[in-house]
Structure 1
Amino acid sequence: MAVVLLLYLVAEVAAVWAVGSAVGILGTLGLLLAGAVLGSWLARREGARAARAFMTTARAGRPAHNEVTDGMLIAFGGLLIMVPGFVSDLAGLFLLFPPTRALVRRAWLRRAERRMAAANPNRVIVVDSEIVPDDQRHPIIEG
């Protein structure tokens, strides 16, 4: 984890240095400020959209795991936008745009499902309020 943080800091400094060399100090500060303003507006808009989608799904009685994951990714993207730097701004924008966020959401949910399956290898099936270990089949189900 420390290596990842160090690599992130080096990439962030290199990006700011490169942009600063190309457009100057005032241009770099302007780009950083514009990224923060654009990102906060986009995070607010996408956050409101995700909240409406969550409410619609919850009222319909359907599972809202996609909407909850979207809300979490939007919040994380908004946080990344507020961190000064171009690498974090790009990562935050990546999470705020719906098409790229959908890619991250699918990967995140797939990973969570694999981790849950690995954490609980001995499944338990509940049949008629009776707890039955997965290796002992219930006579009604075997049919």
Structure 2
Amino acid sequence: MAVVFLLYVVAEVAAVWAVASAIGLLPTLGLLLAGAIVGSWLARREGGKAARAFMATARSGRSPHAEVTDGMLVGLGGLLILLPGFVTDFAGLLLLLPPTRGFARRAWLRRIERKVPVSHRHYGGVIVVDSEVVREPGEPQAQPRRPVIDSE
């Protein structure tokens, strides 16, 4: 982790140095300030859109996975925009723009799906529907069982 932080600091210093060498110190500071202002405005706008999309999806009864992920990516983009430097501003801007945020969301979800195994539970022919145990068609009457509580 320390190596990643060191690489981040070196990349930010190199980017600021390169821009300052090309356009001067005051324009570089102006660019950094403008990036923070525009990025904050964009983060607020996209965060509001993500919140409205989440509420609409939740009201319709559908699962709001994409909307929650979008909200988290907008929050991360806003945080990156607020950190000083051109590298974090660029990364934050990519997370705030809807087309690149969609790409980041899909990549993030694919990575999570690879790391977290999906488990399927089978309770020996027992189907649990709204806390009521029913048996599969053609299965003999089973002895009463204690309710199975699934914590997932």
Fold shared by both chains (TM-score > 0.5): yes
Structure 1 alignment gaps of length 5 or more: 131-138
1:70-89 → structure 2 map (5 Å cutoff)? 70-89=70-89
Identity %: 67
Count, aligned residues: 130
Contact residue 43 and residue 78 of structure 2 kept, 8 A? yes
Higher radius of gyration, 1 or 2: 2
Q: CA RMSD in A?
A: 1.9
Letter in 1 for 2:7: L
- Residue 32 of structure 2 corresponds to which residue in structure 1? 32
Q: Distance in 1 between matches of 2:110 and 2:120?
A: 19
Find the residue that maps to 1:129 and give its secondary structure: strand
Candidates 117, 122, 143, aligned match of 1:125: 122
Q: After TM superposition, list the pairs within 5 Å mapping 1:1-143 onto structure 2.
A: 1-117=1-117, 123-125=120-122, 127-129=126-128, 140=136
Secondary structure of the residue aligned to 2:122 is strand
After TM superposition, the score normalised by the length of structure 1 is 0.85
Q: Aligned letter for 1:89?
A: D
Tell me how far 1:140 sits from its aligned partner.
4.4
- 2:63 alignment partner, SS class: coil
- Partners of 1:2 and 1:11 in 2: CA distance: 14
Q: Which amino acid aligns with 1:8?
A: Y
Q: CA deviation at 1:23?
A: 1.1
When you count helix as a share of all residues, which structure comes out higher?
A: 1
| TM-score, scaled relative to structure 2 | 0.80
The C-alpha deviation readout for 1:90-138, integer Å capped at 9, x for no partner, is 0000000000000000011111122221xx6x532354239xxxxxxxx
Q: What code does the residue aligned with 1:24 have?
A: G
- The one-letter amino acid paired with 1:129 is V
Deviation at 1:2, TM superposition (A): 1.9
Structure 1 ranges of 4+ moved more than 4 A: none
Residue segments in structure 2 that go unaligned for 5+ positions in a row: 130-134, 138-152
Matching residue's letter, 2:49: R
